[in-house]
Chains A and B, each alone.
Chain A
């Protein structure tokens, strides 16, 4: 009898603790979002698509050397003739290239990159330098 009473008391305590939240849940909006989604809010510093200021690139290859995912390739013919090729599907979007670049040429935008099977988007020539 005493045990039943104490259990009942415990249950009432639990209920008293949970009731205010239940009341709040009834009046607040659901946390879930409707599909189709509204455009996502992407933070300013989000690490997205890799881009370059081609005129600033000296073809030193530091970004290629430090890239942990081997997503960059430097094809050099002569001192002033080189190509910097970027493979977005290999990229880990870590931003190491941006950190390593001493000329401030390569950088990351906050643009989200979707997967693709379009060959033109799978191999991107970032810099195609030819002697003037």
Chain B
């Protein structure tokens, strides 16, 4: 059989961000593939050592364009641990509210991308239209669609007024209805199922071996969610379940993500209803005492990890970011082995690539 090498990327309509693949084909089947990354490496970890703790909030917010708030929040939490200050409950609730909205927006964006790559443009249009609702809420809350800039060390800076709260609850009802409908479409639409079932398989052993986290791991049967496993306010006061599937293919990932979106809508509602009154932030000193701290939270794509070390000045001595997408990216050559050329697009979109996160 003829052997062919097909390059995909670094610039390719299939990929939202630059990433390069060399796909080795034997006829229609992929026999091997190599991956090259680093095209969007910006040296953010090193840059963090040049700027003050306060300037870094806005720098780490730009690691990712989709889950920007959760990066800033996790970083702020690590610095707050070093300072030994506790965030007021209302601030913790507001942070969680934005986290959940970001999850809704990220998962709907992903569904659109997957549907587009599979060839279902209608689902793409509907998913991105509904994602707009989440973006509108976030813009009204924070003043920005993508960079929210609500985190400050010691709390948050923007509040929800009672009128806004009612408005958001109304928008969430619309969102709930639309997401429910989309989940139904995903479950009913047979062409989506035939394209995604049994494609991009990842076993539980592979998930453990590559340290994969987030929806990709949960679709393969690894029960891990930072919101439940390391509960902080307000997640320790809210009840929610973590959707799990064991098939490990792109279809299972679709179901996990869509069910998570529904749970996030419900969590947003609970957070808004149970949000306590009180101050938004506590005063934090500029100089951070020497020491090191770690902070973990559940980003839309899985566990996000921050390590911050201070030498006693107003600039961190080291900031290390472990993003959830890097391990999922590294499994791609494994997932691509044996699939047909037409399924490459499904496998690549199945893991929810965020190359800016992975490269930093």
Interface residues of A (CB under 8 A from B): 10-11, 13-14, 17-18, 21, 31, 43, 45-47, 65-69, 92-96, 99-100, 108, 110
Q: Which 7 pairs between the two chains have the least Cβ-Cβ distance?
A: A47-B143, A68-B58, A68-B55, A94-B149, A45-B143, A17-B188, A94-B58
Chain A contacts of B52 at CB under 8 A?
Answer: 65-66
11 A-B interface contacts by CB (under 8 A)? A14-B188, A14-B189, A21-B181, A31-B125, A43-B140, A45-B143, A66-B55, A68-B56, A68-B59, A94-B61, A95-B143
Interface: B184 (CB within 8 A): yes
Partner of A92, one of B51, B58, B158, B190: B58
Chain B contacts of A110 at CB under 8 A?
Answer: 143
Closest to A69 in B: B58
Q: Is A92 in contact with B147, judged by CB distance below 8 angstroms? A: yes
Q: Is B51 in contact with A68, judged by CB distance below 8 angstroms? A: yes
Q: Is A18 in contact with B185, judged by CB distance below 8 angstroms? A: yes
Q: Is A45 in contact with B59, judged by CB distance below 8 angstroms? A: no
Interface: B129 (CB within 8 A): yes
Chain A contacts of B140 at CB under 8 A?
Answer: 43, 45
Partner of A95, one of B51, B56, B149, B185: B149
Chain A contacts of B147 at CB under 8 A?
Answer: 92-94
Chain B contacts of A13 at CB under 8 A?
Answer: 188
Nearest CB of chain A from residue B27's CB, rounded to whole Å: 28
Closest to A13 in B: B188
- Which residue of A11, A92, A100 has the most chain B CB atoms within 10 A of its CB atom? A92
Partner of A100, one of B54, B125, B184, B190: B54
CA gap between A24 and B58 in the complex, in Å? 43
Nearest CB of chain B from residue A50's CB, rounded to whole Å: 13
CA gap between A43 and B184 in the complex, in Å? 33
CA gap between A45 and B125 in the complex, in Å? 28
Chain A contacts of B220 at CB under 8 A?
Answer: none
Chain A contacts of B51 at CB under 8 A?
Answer: 68
Q: Is A45 in contact with B188, judged by CB distance below 8 angstroms? A: no
Number of A-B residue pairs at CB separation under 8 A:
62
Chain A contacts of B125 at CB under 8 A?
Answer: 31
Chain A contacts of B181 at CB under 8 A?
Answer: 21
Closest to B61 in A: A94
Nearest CB of chain A from residue B145's CB, rounded to whole Å: 9
Interface: B139 (CB within 8 A): yes
CA gap between A86 and B231 in the complex, in Å? 43
CA gap between A31 and B143 in the complex, in Å? 23
Chain B contacts of A10 at CB under 8 A?
Answer: 190
Interface residues of B in 98-150 (CB under 8 A from A): 125, 129, 139-144, 147, 149
Chain A contacts of B56 at CB under 8 A?
Answer: 68
Chain B contacts of A108 at CB under 8 A?
Answer: 143
- 1/0 per residue, CB under 8 A from A, across B13-54: the answer is 000000000000000000000000000000000000001101
Closest to A100 in B: B54
Nearest CB of chain A from residue B168's CB, rounded to whole Å: 12
Chain A contacts of B188 at CB under 8 A?
Answer: 13-14, 17-18
CA gap between A65 and B157 in the complex, in Å? 19
Interface: B304 (CB within 8 A): no
Chain A contacts of B143 at CB under 8 A?
Answer: 43, 45-47, 95, 108, 110
Interface: B351 (CB within 8 A): no
CA gap between A67 and B54 in the complex, in Å? 9
Interface: B152 (CB within 8 A): yes
Chain B contacts of A100 at CB under 8 A?
Answer: 54
Partner of A46, one of B58, B139, B185, B189: B139
- Which residue of A13, A21, A66, A94 has the most chain B CB atoms within 10 A of its CB atom? A94
Do A66 and B54 form a contact, CB below 8 Å, given A31-B129, A47-B144? yes
Nearest CB of chain B from residue A82's CB, rounded to whole Å: 22
Q: Is A95 in contact with B54, judged by CB distance below 8 angstroms? A: no
